[in-house]
Amino acid sequence: MKNRDNVILFPGLQKRLEDESLEALKEKRYEDALETFNALIENEVDSHEVHMGKLICLMELGNYLEVEEVCRRLMAKEDSYYYDYIHIYLTCLFQTSQYRDLMEELDLVFEREDIPSIYKNQFWQLYEISKKLLEDKEKQEIIHFMEEFKRAKKQQDTTKQWSLVMMCHDLELNENLPFIRSLLIDEAIHPVVKTALLEWLRKQDIDARVEITKFEQLESMKPNQLLPMMDTPLTKEILAALSEVEQNNPSQYELIKRVLKRYLYVLYPFLPSQDSISIIAEALVHIGKQYIGDIPSDETDQSVRNQIQQILQLEALYLSIIEE
């Protein structure tokens, strides 16, 4: 079929193109139909039939990403065809196994009071099926995670261990919490991996008490009561102590903020003492200067030197696992 981009729609041409596209759709010539639907849309034919025809073609051709993009754009109009478009959008999410996104979208839809009866039951059924499939999928993924993690632990592959945990942060732990508990107190598990495990528990809002060991320290806590490490009062005080650097040299501030994040990530949930805030801030300033070739003088206080050494050691631990 000839390319019909930027066609000038003379009287009668629009009708002929619409007939051609519908005929191609009926005959399952989806590429030809899609080309004609696109030509109509590019020439400002903004009818429901044309948009639906295009979406059907995209679905049949497996162009799911474009289906999602087109649906979101059409749904944003909030016109009388909103539920037709969201029905196709949800179908696309279901076919691509995006069950969590589907359920989140339906949670928003169910807040509306104008759902047509023709769709209401379908949406509820789709939600329940997706919920069950998501649970089954996550159970399989957790089983896979445990098998892969045990293999990575045996091989002492800490980078793989960290990557596996990070990929699972959206999965519910359910009956697998005891396995994660055992890892948090296992001296063979890298502190960076333990931080990722604890973050997983925090994100899953785990209310059960767990223990964690790092650097010969032991602490018991409820993960859902933990603050993200960059949101703790201590972290905010350290950053506040660096406000002058932020104002005078923003790029250096961003650099030492990254260093601080790496340092705290390795320690988390154990944090430095409140008394060390000024020393940590001063050490970070020195490290920032070192990174740009400005070597601190020998007159630097010994406590600051010790802090610089600790920060750099823990940053090296972080970078040994996480590439940035």
Q: pLDDT at position 16, please?
A: 78
Q: pLDDT at position 301, please?
A: 84
Q: pLDDT at position 152, please?
A: 96
Q: pLDDT at position 5, please?
A: 47
Q: End-to-end distance of the chain based on CA atoms, in angstroms?
A: 49
- Quote the mean pLDDT of the chain: 90
Per residue in 122-177, pLDDT (tens digit) is: 999 999 999 999 989 888 888 899 899 999 999 999 999 999 999 988 888 878 89
State mean pLDDT over 179-184. Answer: 95
Q: Which residue has the higher pLDDT, 293 or 42?
A: 42
| pLDDT surpasses 70 at 4 | no
Q: pLDDT at position 323, please?
A: 86
Tell me the C-alpha distance between 283 and 303, whole Å. Answer: 9
Least confident range from 33-47, 139-153, 212-226, 255-269: namely: 33-47
Q: Where are the domains of the chain?
A: 13-134, 156-225, 229-319
**What's the one-letter identity of residue 71?**
C
The residues near 26 (Cβ < 8 Å, ≥ 6 apart) are none
Q: pLDDT at position 176, please?
A: 85
Tell me the C-alpha distance between 32 and 59, whole Å. Answer: 14
In which band, very low, low, confident or very high, does the pLDDT at 295 lie, cut at 50, 70 and 90?
low
Per residue in 203-244, pLDDT (tens digit) is: 999 999 999 999 999 999 999 999 999 999 999 999 999 999
| pLDDT surpasses 50 at 257 | yes
Cα radius of gyration (the chain):
28
Question: How many alpha carbons lie under 13 Å from residue 161 in its C-beta half-sphere?
Answer: 24
Per the rule left: phi > 0, alpha: psi between -120 and 50, beta: everything else, 10 is: beta
| pLDDT surpasses 70 at 294 | no
Least confident range from 187-191, 195-199, 201-205, 302-306: namely: 302-306
179: tokens are 């396995």
Residue 210, beta-bridge partner list: 221
The closest alpha carbon to 75, from 86, 65, 67, 66, belongs to 86
Residue 219, beta-bridge partner list: 212
Q: pLDDT at position 3, please?
A: 44
Cis preceding linkage at 223, omega within 30 = no
Per the rule left: phi > 0, alpha: psi between -120 and 50, beta: everything else, 196 is: alpha
The fold of 13-134 is 1.25.40
Q: pLDDT at position 17, please?
A: 77
Asked if residues 258 and 252 have their Cβ atoms less than 8 Å apart, the reply is no
Please name the residue ranges forming H helices in 5-155: 13-26, 30-42, 48-61, 64-75, 82-95, 99-109, 117-154
Residues of the chain above pLDDT 70, percent? 94
Tell me the C-alpha distance between 221 and 225, whole Å. Answer: 8
Exposed, middle or buried, 7 (CB in 10 Å: 0-12/13-18/19+)?
A: middle
Tell me the C-alpha distance between 166 and 222, whole Å. Answer: 20
State mean pLDDT over 12-36. Answer: 83
Residue 220, beta-bridge partner list: 211
Let me know the angle formed at the C-alpha of 74 by 108 and 41, rounded to the nearest 5 degrees.
170
Asked if residues 36 and 20 have their Cβ atoms less than 8 Å apart, the reply is yes
